[in-house]
Chains A and B, each alone.
Chain A
Amino acid sequence: MTVQKSHFVCVVCPIGCEIDVVHEDSEILSMEGQKCDKSEEYVRQELLEPMRILTTTVRIRGARWPVIPVRTDGPVPKRLFPRLMRQLKRIELQAPVDMLDVVVSDIAGTDANIVATRSMPQER
């Protein structure tokens, strides 16, 4: 275990505080630059496991367009993005699809579902 210094830009709100943190692994020893308490939670999570919403597209058959936009319905570990992308490349949906339809549930054991972010009716 070593004491390290890291720099973060908090993305909780538009202010985007620049924060310098002294930490031992994921334990925060001190931090400066933040303007509110929310940053601490953000930085702790960043040290532990950066989490993000993934937005992408998947193939769809029978619709006007060849792809449909989707997202995770909650934040997932950022490091799993390549795995999620690979898995999503393999699937193909069939129109019609409604907005917020679950496309893949509990993707890669993340507890998050992949949901459609628009409806796509079936094209005649």
Chain B
Amino acid sequence: MEVDVAVIGSGPAGLTAAIHARGSGARSVVLLEREEELGGILKQCIHNGFGLEQFKQDYTGPEYAERLIQDLEETDVQCFLNTLVTDLSPDRVITALSPEHGAIEISAGSIVLGMGCRERARGSIGIPGTRPAGIFTAGVAQRFVNIDGYLPGRRIVILGSGDIGLMMARRLTLEGARVIGVYEIMGYPSGLKRNIVQCLDDFDIPLHLSHTATGITGKERVEGVTISKVDSDLRAVKGTEQLITCDTLLLSVGLIPENELSQQAGVEISAATKGPVSTETMATSVPGVYTCGNVATVFDIVDHVAQTGATAGASAARYVGGRLNGDVPHVDIVPGENVRLLFPHRYSFQGDLLLFIRAAEPVEKPVTVEVSPPGSRITRPYARPNEMLRVRIPGAKLAEVRHPLKVSIREK
């Protein structure tokens, strides 16, 4: 099968990319999704707070997804569900498997990667102890409760204060489980302040900062978790251990972009963002392969995900139409003062630069985001590591730039 644009993954990134690819002149667009429904992770995020920026509405995850799916259904984009992409070649040939069609080979004029992210699991944080049942990532528990309709356990300890863990603390409490506490190794929570208030404080669930799990007990099923205080080097302090009886341990310790396929295609991966090295058109290092959403870098809000999807879809359509070159001159975008992470990584002179910036340290005062060259200064009321800043630099200002763009965040 030959198509103009193939989009892998039907989360908000992939859905938006497919809609925009078709809308920007691609004649045939296919969307490949391994699950049995479109929508990606949003289907299990049943809480509200989605789409405030894009739709000026306080949607739940499923509503936001359905709204995009309705837009997609207005188009003739062809969707393949239950279709797992297993291989991607640098010359843009996709191999996929589906029970309905068997092995499919798709040769695409351009490709959009929209595979999302996955959660870090126990292996990535290395808690010693037995390996009983009852240890889940918060997202897996979210799926159990919100889609499959059952509780993963009754007495629950949550390790890590990521937003998904916070959401699950509230959700499980509402469903009648006892959430004993949320334990966070750092001295500050990783989730948003509003989520701490609405998910923990509202339900009197304690948050213990500077604490981590140092052991797990139980043979068949989790019976308890040992929690210890940590010192300023994040090392467990001897003598502070306490055994907490529980039947379930949820991990909410971070997300990582899912880039196995991207790597098969030879896409260069950034050590900083763990996603493809990208330009402002969402181009990766492989001509004709574009990226968007959480496979590109882990975003905080779905509106940002959709925004990158729109750009990636439009770029993919321009590439097959011969209106966008795969190999164009570019300058790097590099972190300066108080910047932990930047997306995209390169500017390739194709218009405005929409820059997503994660601060290294929180500044609870007005800040100036400086992009130099060209010497743009943009003010924001504060900078926090868990809320990406987004700034737009007009293309006209960047036309003459010949050196790497350095991005800094300074107190105003």
Contacts and interface: CB of A to CB of B under 8 A. Distances in A.
Contacts of B397: none
B149 A55 contact: no
Given A15-B381, A85-B174, A59 B46 contact: no
Interface range on chain B (Cβ under 8 Å from partner): 20 to 34
Contacts of B43: 118
Contact of A64 (B36, B171, B176): B36
> By DSSP majority rule, is chain A's interface helix, strand, loop, or mixed?
loop
Interface in B167-198: 171, 174-176, 192-194, 196-198
Q: Identify whether the interface residues of B are mostly helix, strand, loop, or mixed.
A: helix
A17 to B, nearest CB: 10
A109 interface: no
Contacts of A66: 148-149
Contacts of A118: 43, 62-63, 65-66
Contact of B202 (A57, A78, A85): A78
Interface in A31-59: 35, 50, 52-57, 59
B402 interface: no
Contacts of B234: none
Interface in A65-122: 65-67, 69, 71, 78, 81, 85, 99, 117-119
A81 B149 CA distance: 19
A87 B63 CA distance: 23
Nearest to B382: A15
The interface centre, meaning the residue of A52, A55, A56 with most chain B CB atoms within 10 A of its CB, is A55
A9 interface: yes
A66 B143 CA distance: 12
A85 B175 CA distance: 8
Contacts of B66: 99, 118-119
Given A14-B387, A117-B60, A118-B62, A57 B146 contact: yes
B189 to A, nearest CB: 12
A76 B357 CA distance: 37
Interface in B135-151: 145-149
B48 interface: yes
Contacts of A62: none
B63 A16 contact: no
Contacts of B198: 11, 52
Interface in B352-377: none
B47 interface: yes
A71 B174 contact: no
Interchain residue pairs A-B with the least CB separation, the first 7:
A67-B149, A118-B62, A69-B46, A66-B149, A16-B193, A11-B194, A117-B60
Interface of B: 36-37, 43, 46-48, 58, 60, 62-63, 65-66, 145-149, 171, 174-176, 192-194, 196-198, 201-202, 381-382, 387
